[in-house]
Structure 1
Amino acid sequence: MATISVYLKAGRLSLLLFPLYSDSLFAIAFVQTISYGSGIMKYSLTFLVLFLLQNVYSANSQSYIGVNYGDQALNIPQPGDIVNLLKTTTIAKVRLLGSSDESTKATIKAFANTNIGLVIGLDNSEIRWAATGPDAASQWVNSNVMPYYPASKIIIVTVGNEVLTSAGDEDAISSILPAMKNIQNALNTASLGEKIKVTTVHSMDLLTEFSPPSSGAFNDSFGDTMKALLQFQSEHGSPFMINASPFYAYKRDPKPETLAFCLFQSNSGQVDLRNNIEYMNMFDVQVDAVRSALNAMGYKNMEIVVAQTGWPYQNGPNEVGPSLDNAKAYVGNLINHLRSNLGTPLMPGKNVDTYIYELYDEDLKLGPKSEQSFGLFGADGSPHYDTGLFKSSQNSMTPTSPASPKPAPASTGTPPPKLGGIWCVPRPAGVSDAQLEENIKLGCSKGIDCSPIQQGGACFEPNNIESHATYVMNLYYQSNGRNPWSCDFSHTATLTTINPSYNGCNYPSG
């Protein structure tokens, strides 16, 4: 006899069949709810019969566990090496971050015949273009989907990331739904509209409240846009994708009890006084807040997918929370939580598809050290910490108590060498002179000082298109907030830590 606690309404008797501890061991249990203490509702499962069911559940993958893959890094493995690494894990889905460039297409192709589900998408810089009409959307689908599907198992196309909470980007906000509709119509034309879902990815900042979860509600300032998006997604059966961020919730409230709550570790819990449900971790709080917000809008059956969640394993000066132990605890305990099949209090027994952030570190990302340190694996395929994701190791080994939330100590010795800077340059291959010429025209038309590349200027020599384009593209990037989308130029640019300055020609850097 064994007992496990989850949540349900009092007085209900049920018969359940669910997996236990291994991928083929199942239990039948009678369920009788009880009420105790402050009125918090739980139920006990008493196992009556154990038996084996073969071929019901694959021991080699879990369909609800995915991973994000971004390539803002200097040392990224080849696509084939990435696929070979994932084949040794239980990861069943991959969300490809970034723009629709040739590198991304090569990665999509590498996943052919692996049965690993792929989430691909348009980045924020492509939304306005896709919204211009059916020709643009058809061009995108014909370039990024048709050459690879169905050998590469594309399951979702995301149109933008956290667009509704992009401060001041009204053009992207107004373009998001037309772009989604155009992509959907292009997929319909290709007879893929029922096979590949079209959606977008949201930030938790889209909610005005998420604690307690029952109070979850979307920001009224996006009311009409939100209603139209949800109506479109409901009509086409596409999921609501959210970036859940217990790490950032802890950063806002860096107390030991908050850390334990965020890491799925022993804690006193939080009771939602509106329904007397007790929560034992922040992940469930955030997911159920989204569930409540969708329910309030009338979309009780819309699927929720966690597009991104993770914990950094390295910290910079004065950062609290990132550490190897904490990353291991969060990711390992999250995976165990998903494998338990308990679901969340508002969605009991339902596995929420969850994409862990991320496969490799992205050392070209701007911001504190933690932003570059979410990777599960090193470039050589070795894990930064054990989470039980390898097929040969199903159970993760995680700390049972939270690591102390201490800031990084002040250095008393020689400071570590600093990254010299980040520059925006043309991609090393596949960019024509005509494209570089267009980049020069674009940059110089936006008010940046192009006199250094004019005859007699410090950067005129060598007098060639690539050299001049490099100077203009970098100056444009540095002058426009050093945002990743400012170093895009229709996918002909990339970031580098190698200073392109030479002789008297100085390339500014952040």
Structure 2
Amino acid sequence: MASSPSPSSVFLCLSLIILFALSFAESQSFVGVNYGQAADNLPPPEATVKLLQSTTIAKVRLYGADPVILRALANSGIGVVIAAANGEIPSLASGAAAATQWINANVRPYYPATNITIISVGNEVMTSGDQNLISQLVPAMRNVQSALSSASLGGKVKVSTVHSMAVLTQSDPPSSGLFNPTLQGALKPMLAFLKDNKSPLMINPYPYFAYQSNPGPETLAFCLFQPNSGRTDRSNGLLYTNMFDAQVDAVHSALGAMGYEDVEIVVAETGWPSSGDPSEVGPSVENAKAYNGNLIAHLRSLVGTPLMPGKSVDTYIFALYDEDLKAGPASERAFGLFKTDLSQSYDVGLAKSSQQAPSTPKPAVGWCVPKASVSDSQLQANLDYACSQGIDCGAIQPGGACFDPNTLASHAAYAMNLYYQKFGRNPWNCDFSQSATLTSQNPSYNGCIYPGGST
């Protein structure tokens, strides 16, 4: 009969579990959401805060500094990005008094109870075409920074601004990313400001728009983080398996080309609409669920991007709710992760109840394997994709426990199942462009063990 564990060993085990759980919770801190107000049917801010607290969303980005929302977020622990509108930039650039007044009205009454982390001065100003506004942006940012320092908040609250991907004139391949030469005169002092104040460059990459400009099955898979043949950066040989990484790395390369590669990147907006006009290519619940679900899984993997491996960029998903008052095509009003009755638009695994610490793991529903008659090219794409996402494919390498039988189908099945088990055991983690299925029959054999099980 085995002896009972000693009290000290039990304490050590519990300590390790607690540390792992805390580490897991910390690992979610890079997932944020945009909380827009262009709707006439939004739930009260207090209800929205409770909704956010029921999820693993750790950050929220506002498009202003609504006092009711800021008060509702007090003591929630949620990181908050607030914004000065483009129309406020001339005043903020005019002198210290206006910036001090802005900080006194929009930050000091709420901080630190409300965890304001970043002030975004303007939105997509650099690509607005308004040369007067562009010239006033950096002076406005400097004045806001000075006002924060005078309020003893320098370094505690960062100052930045948000850019569209149109600030780049070159992004393919990612290593060749370059900022628009006509904007570099304005960008250089802004980047110097960000570096000096350890503030991030905030960018809005949307693979959805890239797909719209070049629709096709392979492009869709590349944009949705689904298995695909990938795209190799011909300059450095790095393989990209999704558009998000390619766009973020293009911005990183553009920063490096100007000597600012150490400036942190924050993704201020990215998302996919769940519906649109009949003429629009790409909007659907299936695609929105795939993009946002796979994006979150990719961020949680901490695999990073090919040029920035081993870390996840802080990413704010667009958006928390559909916004029925927005202008433009129908897709503009259909980016919400949640409905205004607080129910999910679709499940992307954000609920805290779906994120268990390893001490009480979420039970897997079977094993993920290829469907019958899947083509060799699809199996190879599935294998390459799964093994590029930070899972350990050593078992199917020569000498590994699952190397034999040395067939593409066997190796792909092992890698696909390992991907499914690691990234949440959700149905969309066993999709692989509709080439995979769940089975209750354990595919393990001899010494080759497929992780998983059934409820």
Structure 1 length-normalised TM: 0.67
* Residue of structure 2 in register with 1:432 after alignment: none
Paired residues for 1:288-299 under 5 Å: 288-299=249-260
Q: Does 1:76 align with 2:42?
A: yes
Work out whether residues 72 and 364 of structure 1, in 8 Å CA contact, stay in contact via their aligned partners in 2: yes
* Residue of structure 2 in register with 1:320 after alignment: 281
Q: Does 1:144 align with 2:174?
A: no
Question: Could you tell me how far 1:183 is from its partner in structure 2?
Answer: 0.4
Match among 409, 415, 427 for residue 397 of structure 1: 427
State the one-letter code of the partner of 1:186: A
Work out whether residues 61 and 92 of structure 1, in 8 Å CA contact, stay in contact via their aligned partners in 2: no
State the one-letter code of the partner of 1:397: P
Match among 97, 110, 116 for residue 154 of structure 1: 116
Paired residues for 1:104-503 under 5 Å: 104-167=66-129, 169-394=130-355, 395=424, 396-398=426-428, 400-402=431-433
Could you report, residue by residue, the CA deviation over 1:469-510 in whole angstroms, capped at 9, with x for unpaired residues? xxxxxxxxxxxxxxxxxxxxxxxxxxxxxxxxxxxxxxxxxx
Find the aligned partners of 2:315 and 2:91 in 1 and give their Cα distance: 29
2:81 aligned counterpart, secondary structure: strand
Question: Could you tell me how far 1:52 is from its partner in structure 2?
Answer: 8.8
Give ranges in structure 2 of 5+ residues lacking alignment. 1-12, 356-423, 435-455
Q: State the identity %.
A: 57
Question: Could you tell me how far 1:51 is from its partner in structure 2?
Answer: 9.3
Question: Could you tell me how far 1:256 is from its partner in structure 2?
Answer: 1.0
Structure 1 residues 93 and 152, CA gap change in structure 2 (3 angstroms) = same
* Residue of structure 2 in register with 1:64 after alignment: 30
2:427 aligned counterpart, secondary structure: coil
Find the aligned partners of 2:103 and 2:329 in 1 and give their Cα distance: 36
State the one-letter code of the partner of 2:427: M
Structure 1 residues 91 and 142, CA gap change in structure 2 (3 angstroms) = same
Question: Could you tell me how far 1:400 is from its partner in structure 2?
Answer: 2.1
Aligned-residue CA RMSD (Å)? 1.9
State the one-letter code of the partner of 1:400: D
2:120 aligned counterpart, secondary structure: strand
Work out whether residues 309 and 356 of structure 1, in 8 Å CA contact, stay in contact via their aligned partners in 2: yes
2:202 aligned counterpart, secondary structure: strand
Give ranges in structure 1 of 5+ residues lacking alignment. 1-23, 25-49, 404-510
Match among 31, 55, 59 for residue 89 of structure 1: 55
Question: Could you tell me how far 1:402 is from its partner in structure 2?
Answer: 5.0
1:57 aligned counterpart, secondary structure: helix
Find the aligned partners of 1:56 and 1:293 in 2 and give their Cα distance: 35
2:232 aligned counterpart, secondary structure: strand
| Aligned residue-pair number | 351
Question: Could you tell me how far 1:129 is from its partner in structure 2?
Answer: 1.5
Work out whether residues 201 and 241 of structure 1, in 8 Å CA contact, stay in contact via their aligned partners in 2: yes
Find the aligned partners of 2:142 and 2:74 in 1 and give their Cα distance: 27
Work out whether residues 27 and 300 of structure 2, in 8 Å CA contact, stay in contact via their aligned partners in 1: no
Find the aligned partners of 1:243 and 1:364 in 2 and give their Cα distance: 21
Question: Could you tell me how far 1:123 is from its partner in structure 2?
Answer: 1.3
Considering Cα pairs closer than 8 Å and 6+ residues apart, tell me whether 1 or 2 has the greater RCO.
2
Find the aligned partners of 1:58 and 1:121 in 2 and give their Cα distance: 30
Question: Could you tell me how far 1:94 is from its partner in structure 2?
Answer: 0.2
Question: Could you tell me how far 1:59 is from its partner in structure 2?
Answer: 3.7
Structure 2 length-normalised TM: 0.75
Work out whether residues 256 and 402 of structure 1, in 8 Å CA contact, stay in contact via their aligned partners in 2: no
Could you report, residue by residue, the CA deviation over 1:145-171 in whole angstroms, capped at 9, with x for unpaired residues? 00000000000000011100013x112
Structure 1 residues 61 and 390, CA gap change in structure 2 (3 angstroms) = farther
1:293 aligned counterpart, secondary structure: helix
Q: Is the strand fraction higher in 1 or 2?
A: 1
